[in-house]
Structure 1
């Protein structure tokens, strides 16, 4: 949840909620995305705080028999955790730009739009990581792809004609080829160079 979401649940404008409650809330409920501009909080923890069940910190114990939601131990991740492109990239061992590219090509699901950015469930990233195809390990075209073949050389009958002309008239120049075949200057130069090579062989 964002602080806007939390303020909406409490029925207050966000600026009023921040003035009255933000300091106490932030002291008790940690953000799930430290260092990010948009603060995000665990929904279960936020609701526990809003219901008066202040989430116990590591240095405090509950003063009564309140049943607190069980915190996730460090290093234990939930499969439904929503990950950013950078966090998804860390799971897959690739760059975050590649995660976004995978999402557009369908190699990775498109993700979920929340709070103005795209998120991927941890189980989706881990399933992609553990799949047998390992697309990111073999980028580019696969072996045997017909597009890997070298292009066939094109036969241009004009080259043979120009080669024959150059043997008869060594002073054949680009302008002659342009006029004779109605081609541009660069094409004429290419044809003339190929013809001279052929005549020398």
Structure 2
């Protein structure tokens, strides 16, 4: 999270503020800096640091605290938005692409969303069906049995006993208003049901 009104810096930006090259910074100053100044919460690749905390460290002043109260204009990562909305980070990115969420802002090589946009997405009803995050059921969904299969099985039995006409794909296609290929599949299912 990048707090509202608090610019964020990469390590290269920190080195530039210190007036040294990034390689010199890593060799001589990085360990002391990271021991005193923690990265902003949720920042990864690149790690980001608060500019006010960085400047305080570089000038030998006490490190100021980050704001405690959330603000609507705080910038959040996809994972932080996901925690607020109850979605997954990949769904947050997909929603932003599809227009179901504010597109966000590109900053420091990644996309950020305001806390207000995340909260607005939480208040908005879901527009699509899908699995609930964290759902444990992995079994396929049950479908209602096709009543035509039992009817065809009964017709096949009747035809074998001489109590009805022969069952063909063409007659079934006409009777059920389906293709002959679908009728052949139904006959195969009916035969399999009779033998099981």
Q: Secondary structure at the match of 1:135?
A: coil
Q: Deviations over 1:43-91 (max 9, x none)?
A: 22223333x143x25xxxxxxxxxxxx53354x2233322111100111
Q: Is the 8 A contact 2:42 2:77 kept in 1?
A: no
Matched with 2:26 is 18
Structure 2: which 5+ runs fail to align? Answer: 1-8, 131-164, 171-178, 189-196
1:140 aligns with one of 119, 129, 137: 129
What is the 5 A alignment of 1:48-127?
Answer: 48-50=56-58, 52-54=59-61, 56=62, 71-74=65-68, 76-127=69-120
1:146 — aligned with what? none
Normalised to the residue count of structure 2, the TM-score between the two structures is: 0.56
Partner SS for 1:113? strand
> Which ranges in structure 1 are unaligned for 5 or more consecutive residues?
58-69, 142-169, 176-183, 194-201
Describe the superposition over 1:5-63 as per-residue Cα deviations: whole angstroms up to 9, x where unpaired. 2123334321111112212222222211368453211122223333x143x25xxxxxx
The 2-side partners of 1:113 and 1:48 are apart by 27
Relative contact order higher in (CA < 8 Å, ≥ 6 apart):
2
| Cα RMSD, aligned residues only | 3.7
How many residue pairs were aligned?
A: 143
Kindly state the Cα deviation for residue 120 of structure 1 after the two structures are TM-superposed: 0.9
The residue aligned with 2:138 is none
Bigger Rg over Cα: 1
TM-score computed with the length of structure 1 as normaliser: 0.55
2:76 and 2:114 in contact (8 A); partners too: yes
Per-residue Cα deviation, 1:152-171 (whole angstroms, up to 9, x for no partner): xxxxxxxxxxxxxxxxxx66
C-alpha distance in 1 between matches for 2:48 and 2:37: 10
What per-residue deviation string (whole Å, max 9, x for no partner) do you get for residues 129-168 of structure 1?
3x4xx223x6439xxxxxxxxxxxxxxxxxxxxxxxxxxx
